[in-house]
Chain A
Amino acid sequence: MPSFVNPEKCDGCKALDKTACQYICPNDLMVLNQDTMKAYNREPEMCWECYNCVKICPTQAVDVRGYADFVPMGASVVPLRSTDSIMWTVKFRNGMIKRFKFPIRTTPEGQAQPAGGWDNKPSIDGPALYTEPESLGLPAVWTK
């Protein structure tokens, strides 16, 4: 309920070192049932519908059903996230379907360099942070 798991598709991430949805849920909601080896949302009324469990699931077993206390039934919003973009399929209650694709990042996954290529040698005493002043595009950090 807000996020729910299709038991046909969920394999408990048994081939992986961790259960993906359980690993990622920011609110500690997704949990693996050790008996059935299927994941479930243990506290649906604390779900933000952030979709992180949906996006990360390797078998696309997780989906979201709009909050039952105010959302009319029948719609679905389904993402397909790749390494550089995300495709959304929005299905309306009246059957209309819309698709949208947006970029999500411009660099290869895992490659973010903390210094961003800037090489400064600021002092521990002044206001300049480790990439400054170059990362500001200014000759010096502004002061009064």
Chain B
Amino acid sequence: MVDFKTQEVETDLLILGGGMAATGAAVEAAYWGKQHGLKVTLVDKAAVDRSGAVAMGLSAINQYVGLRDGQNSVKDYVDYVRNDLMGVTREDLVADIARHVDSSVHLFEKWGLPIWKDEKGGYVHEGRWQLMINGESYKVVVAEAAKNALGKENIFERVFIVGPIMDGDKCLGAYGFSVRENTFYVFKAKATLVAMGGAVHVFKPRNSGEGQGRAWYPPWNAGASTFFTLKAGAEMTCQEVRFIPVRFKDAYGPVGAWFLLFKSRATNAFGGEYMVERKPELDNWGAYGKVKPIPANLRNYLGMLDVLAGKGPIYMRTEEAIQKIAAAAGDEKAAKKKLKELEAEAWEDFLDMTISQAILWAASNVSPEERSSEIAAAEPYFIGSHSGASGAWVSGPEDLAPKEYFWGYETMSTVKGVFCAGDASGASSHKFSSGSHAEGRIAAKAAIRYIVKEKPAAPVVAAAKVEALKAETLKPLATFDEFKNATTQQDINPNYIRPKMFQMRLQKLMDEYAGGVTAQFTTSKPLLEKGMELLAFLKEDSEKLGAADLHELMRCWENVHRMYQAEAHVRTVLFREETRWPGYYFRSDFPKLNEDDWHCFVNCKLDPATGQWEMFKRPILHMFKQPGDHELLGG
């Protein structure tokens, strides 16, 4: 095997990731770092201009509270999020993001993001919290500000982070490798900010051939945040709260504009509207079945029941919605003009953020003003920034958090000096792109404050430790190199497993035993226990991963990351003996909501030294004392 150079980088604050949360962290940290003479370094596995979940663009900003115009209050947003997550949310974290998010949105506009405006100059809302944008270059614009703030010399692109460097319970930074040249990296830092996104392809995707890459959430989000925080020994939360989006079928084009802006209905093949016909089912889900808007997972669930009853396909009635709006525009000429406008808006919605859906429409000769399009539930994803909630258990802000939720620095995990933002922090859903940026900023300021106040010593990593981490990181290359000539076909070799088949093994077991698509999102104790058995074999075999080149080495580690996300998920679903989010997963052995025993967080911890997992409950504490409706809504 070729020699790898070792590059050591010393910094004060290390930002891991390059998406919305990391770029938010970069602009904020650059400001405070400069004031306090601290060095800030950002590491991205791709190119910051187009990395993370917003790499393609977006057609809407999903979190804008509108505090300056008095449109909504912070409490309104907290109520919305808590209800959507069936009562399980950290109000202090959601409130912290909600009080800052408008600031990030106003910055995006200054930086050059086109936000739609009405005749009076106000933002055009898609829904109560959502703004319409021309977002093709959303990430480019946000990345530009981050790069201008931090300076190119402080940004490492195409460096893949494998995991944390630990000394007992202290995090000394991170290690990884370049995917472009044979270099092993050691980043030593006084504080580390984790913002490496959520996880896709843990479950088997619906598209099984070339289209596997067409997951709703991008395939490069591979569980690095979860792996990093777990391996640092951090307490994790809501690992059972996966997210399953209902989107246009197969290409996963967005439905938000159709439901919220165009007020489209969804019906089954027989014209029945599951949200109307299955309304009584909502009574089975406690107070959460009564709130408005109806929680995303319950809406999913009602649609799934129609599919199970053989009433599919389920259609988004695009033609009906468009014709209705056009007809309301006035005379024939006005209606025609409106129709043209709506058509462009409908296509831009896809072209800005899911171009595949535009291809699929064109390839199937679909004109949305003429024909309905199918919608369907996707496969499960781990995305704490959206309507899922998985992530690390982090401290709240001093002025908002109950004392049990506060340990010195907001967004700091239970490991000192390890901060989390975006998909990396849990129980603070519905932050989306803008809220993730805002949370990155909150985390960066807190991390700089931590360095200033705590004055942690410059980390020292022993040479032997560096060598051990390097050998472990490069092991798949060494394994492949050693055995590649043992057979005549490099894919089929009893001495190693290549990352692609490893990924498929993980996806198959998760799909079948942990409630994936083919299991109709349903699982039970016996199924989960069988899944754990297979996961244990997989974990053993991860020692035998083989990689032919740097690209494949990255794929090996991505799949190890996914495997840890999978294990955290299975263990947590197993521990919570109830069904709380029926449209995300269903426990057939505990098919009901159980507020008496399970109105709580389920947290877990991995002891990195022993490999032992600990599962436990944490109480849900409320921030707002005043509202009597709280009790009604599951408080």
Contact = CB atoms under 8 A, between A and B. Distances in A.
Give the residue among A2, A26, A76 with the most B Cβ atoms within 10 A.
A26
A23 B51 CA distance: 11
B500 to A, nearest CB: 9
Interface residues of A, number: 75
Contacts of A138: 67-68
Given A26-B46, A45-B209, A107-B111, A102 B134 contact: yes
A129 B441 contact: yes
B333 interface: no
Interface in B75-116: 95-96, 99-100, 102-103, 106-107, 110-114
B90 to A, nearest CB: 14
Contacts of B27: 114, 130
A50 B623 CA distance: 40
Contact of B220 (A26, A44, A104): A26
B511 interface: no
Give the residue among B95, B114, B158, B449 with the most A Cβ atoms within 10 A.
B114
B235 interface: no
Contact of A73 (B95, B103, B148, B363): B363
A64 B359 contact: yes
Contact of B355 (A51, A81, A93): A51
Contacts of B355: 49-51, 64, 77
B211 A70 contact: yes
A142 B32 CA distance: 21
A94 B371 CA distance: 15
Interface in B203-240: 207-215, 218-220
B489 interface: no
Interface stretch (B346-354, B385-393, B412-420, B627-635): B346-354
Nearest to B410: A127
Given A70-B250, A88-B351, A141-B99, A48 B56 contact: yes
B142 to A, nearest CB: 8
A68 B210 contact: yes
Contact of B351 (A25, A77, A111): A77
A92 B601 CA distance: 49
Interface string B174-218: 000001000000000000000000000000000111111111001
A77 B35 CA distance: 48
B100 A129 contact: yes
Contacts of A76: 359, 362
B364 interface: yes
Contacts of A7: none
B219 A66 contact: no
B263 interface: no
Given A26-B220, A114-B27, A131 B103 contact: yes
B141 A105 contact: yes
B136 A137 contact: no
A103 to B, nearest CB: 5
B216 to A, nearest CB: 10
B605 to A, nearest CB: 29
Contacts of A136: 67-68, 100, 102-103, 106
A75 interface: yes
Contact of A2 (B50, B149, B210, B400): B210
Nearest to A22: B180
A104 B179 CA distance: 31
B132 to A, nearest CB: 12
A70 B207 CA distance: 8
B268 interface: no
A24 interface: yes
A69 interface: yes
A91 B213 CA distance: 23
A84 to B, nearest CB: 9
Interface string B250-292: 1100000000000000000000000000000000000000000
Contacts of B69: 137
A112 B365 contact: no
Interface string B354-386: 011011101111000000000000000000000
B68 A137 contact: yes
A47 interface: yes
B5 interface: no
B54 to A, nearest CB: 10
B55 interface: yes
A111 B146 CA distance: 11
B354 to A, nearest CB: 8
B477 interface: no
Contact of A28 (B179, B208, B210, B400): B179
B356 A67 contact: yes
16 contacts: A23-B47, A28-B551, A45-B209, A48-B220, A66-B360, A70-B360, A93-B363, A105-B137, A106-B113, A107-B141, A129-B100, A130-B27, A130-B445, A131-B103, A135-B106, A137-B102
Given A49-B356, A135-B106, 5 more contacts: A28-B46, A70-B360, A75-B359, A116-B106, A129-B100
Interface of A: 1-2, 23-28, 31, 42-52, 64, 66-77, 79, 81, 86, 88, 90-94, 96, 98, 100, 102-107, 109-117, 124-125, 127, 129-132, 135-138, 141-144
